[in-house]
Amino acid sequence: MAMQHKTSILIFLLFLFGFFLSMTVSVADESEDPELTECLEECRSHPHYDIGMQKRCEDKCNQEHPPGKWDPRQGRGSGQSRDKEDPEQRLAKCRLNCRRQYSEHGQQMQCQTKCEETYKHERSSNPQRRYEEQEGEREEDNPYVFGRERLRYEIQSDRGYVKVLDKFHEKSKLLLGIANYSISLLVANPRTFVTPVHFDADCVCYVVEGRGTVTTLRKGDRKSHGIRKGDVFVTQAGSVLYLISSDLRQKLVLAKFLRSNSLTGQVSHFYAAGSENPESVYRSFSDEILEAAFNVPRDRIESIFSRQWQGAFVEASEEQIRALSRYSTEGGRWPFGESRGPFNLFEKDPIHSNRYGKLYEANSDDYRKLGWLNLRVSLANIREGSMIAPFYNSRSTKFAVVTEGSGYIEILCPHVARRGPRGSRAQRYREHEQERRERRYREEEEEEEYQEGPHYRRVRAHVSRGTVFIVPPGHPVVEVASRDQNLQTICFEISADRNERIFLAGRNNILRKLEREAKELAFDTSAREVDAVFDAQKEEVFLPGPGARRHRHDRGESEEWGGSESDDASLSELLPEF
């Protein structure tokens, strides 16, 4: 009974705290409070706490050390504040503890499952989340945003995994037009060989982190290329492909954008190597076919194709990695040779850069193979507390994967228009203008008979590492980094040919081009008043975010915050998994 009581109070306090949080909009920054940090650390390291107890301990810490208001003067870079304790990260830490605490695989697994159960509960009772739900921004209502949990395991093993996004159109009919595109993530542990596979899709890979080698077999030829963070490379449908994650400490993480070549739009993987799970394609042919094909008796064939019990991710020795890396084709890297190998996004100057963010981009001019897919690849790095100005792509559909940090986005969606959420502001203004309108137009009532013109629903969603979101062409979108983390997204934009990013605010706001008279007619006010609003924003593309103080970045901080390679593997371990 006492226990129950305690829990109720706990939840109530949690809720209050969440409400407070969402009202002030300033996100708690626990790691800065040394007492809170210490408290949390104690919970985690307590030798006799199980997962449930650990969580209750952490909750208590959070209550006892409520975060102070956000101090804009402290201007923190993304690196330092990464360990902010959102439920995802607490889950990640919990999992990490499992791996440290137990040496046996079975026990590790059990422990991790418990972590997930525990924090899944917390995630759903997360006040931030509940606030969002009240606003009608639950993921289910949102056709364009796919949380990390929408990625299902295609392959999963001790040494790595492949996760694939559900087919887009199965979430929403609005996405039928991109049914043959897909997003997948590959994560390979340090010093791991990913066995040969081909699939029925063209693939654009972005190296999120780590380093290694990619080898493709095609036209009877073998080509190997070294890969590292920031690299983009394209593999053709049907090419046999294998990888090495060669770093000693850091995982190799690839974000893949796939355009299926198949009859169904779904992507299939065909593994060639000698394992049972994933099954080698060879194992599926009849015995007599294999005997005839290889011209050897079946027992020798079986001994080859059933041996690799590790599956698709195989531990490699240092010698094997060194040997395989040696084959890598040199001279193929941009900008020194022909751009046949990977192209590194960070090697080219960003196409937009200011103190609020940087935009890197590669198109078919930079990397010929992107032209085959009519694709543009871009990486937006929005500094903490900043945002990208509202804009739309004139032709492209954009597939974005958040690779670092967190924040939120708003997409305007004409297809799921609802009148509810729009009401408040419209009504407020309606009252102001009531009088003025009545003077000019008597039959307010009659007007109600008119057909309603288009309205837009605001699709708003929290995004963090591993979130995938889609922005259809023409749809205005805005992306905002959280106050304490840079938001980095890798974007794959299809129909790149003749596409244009059109900005609706900032110095390059397209509407600033309206003639004086057009402004007057469109806004029913003097052009001077319109200009006063349109010209107030002096920045373009990347802007200070909501609530940000202007002077924050004026203290001459180093500009070295974007695009740099962070090699701190232990830190990456702390990040929520993809």
Which residues, numbered 184-213, are part of the site for its own copies (CB under 8 A)?
193, 195-196, 198-200
CB distance 256 to 186 below 8 Å: yes
Task: Select 336 or 450, whichever has its Cβ closest to its own copies.
Answer: 450
For the CB of residue 77, give the shortest distance to its own copies in the complex, in Å: 21
Interface residue with its own copies among 111, 165, 375, 478 (CB under 8 A) is: 478
Return the residue of 38, 64, 287, 330 that touches its own copies, per CB under 8 A: 287
Element at 521 (helix H, strand E): helix 516-523
* Candidate list 188, 314, 370, 481; residue touching its own copies; CB under 8 A: 314
Q: How many residues bind its own copies (CB under 8 A)?
A: 170
Q: Is 77 in the site for its own copies (CB under 8 A)?
A: no
Residue closer to its own copies (CB basis): 63 or 261: 261
Please state the closest distance from residue 567 (CB atom) to its own copies, in A.
Answer: 25
Residues of this chain, 503-522, that bind its own copies according to CB under 8 A: 504-506, 508, 510-511, 513-518, 520-522
The two beta strands, 231-235 and 343-344, are antiparallel
**Nearest alpha carbon to residue 241 among 208, 278, 203:** 203
Q: Which of 53, 289, 351, 574 binds its own copies (CB under 8 A)?
A: 289
Q: How far is the CB of 381 from its own copies (least distance, A)?
A: 18
- Dist. CA 307–CA 310, nearest whole Å: 9
| Residue 389 contacts residue 505 (beta carbons within 8 Å) | yes
Residue 134 binds to its own copies (criterion: CB under 8 A): no
Phi, psi dihedrals of residue 542, rounded to the nearest 5°: -105, 135
Q: C-beta of 534: minimal distance to its own copies in Å?
A: 7
Distance (Å, rounded) from C-alpha 100 to C-alpha 94?
10
Binding its own copies by CB under 8 A: which of 10, 57, 174, 569?
Answer: 174
Given 37, 261, 329, 353, the residue binding its own copies (CB under 8 A):
261
Phi-psi region of 331 (alpha: psi -120 to 50; beta: other; left: phi over 0): left
Q: How far is the CB of 360 from its own copies (least distance, A)?
A: 21
Judged by CB under 8 A, the chain residues 229 through 258 that form the site for its own copies are 236-240, 242
Using CB under 8 A as the criterion, what x/- string covers residues 138-167 for binding its own copies? --------------xxxxxx----------
Q: What is the DSSP letter of 286?
A: -
Residue 449's φ and ψ, nearest 5 degrees, are -75, -20
Q: Rounded to an integer, what distance in angstroms lies between the CA atom of residue 34 and that of residue 38?
A: 6
SS3 438: helix
Among 185, 316, 370, 490, binds its own copies (CB under 8 A): 316
Select the residue interacting with its own copies from 9, 532, 571, 574 (CB under 8 A): 532
Closest CA to 272 of 233, 309, 241, 316: 241
16 contributes a contact to its own copies by CB under 8 A: no
Candidates 34, 331, 420, 453; binder of its own copies (CB under 8 A) is 453
Q: Which is nearer to its own copies, 114 or 395 (CB)?
A: 395
Return the range that interacts with its own copies (CB under 8 A); candidates 263-271, 334-342, 345-353, 568-576. Answer: 263-271
Regarding 537 and contact with its own copies (CB under 8 A), the answer is yes
Amino acid at 294: F
Instruction: Spell out a b/e string for 58-77, using b for 16 or more CB atoms within 10 Å of the CB, else e.
Output: bbebbeebebeebeeeeebb
Task: Choose one: 30-38, 57-65, 226-234, 383-391; the region binding its own copies (CB under 8 A).
Answer: 383-391
With a CB cutoff of 8 Å and minimum separation 6, the contacts of 501 are 391, 392, 393, 394
Give 293: exposed, middle or buried? Use CB within 10 Å, 0-12, 13-18, 19+. exposed
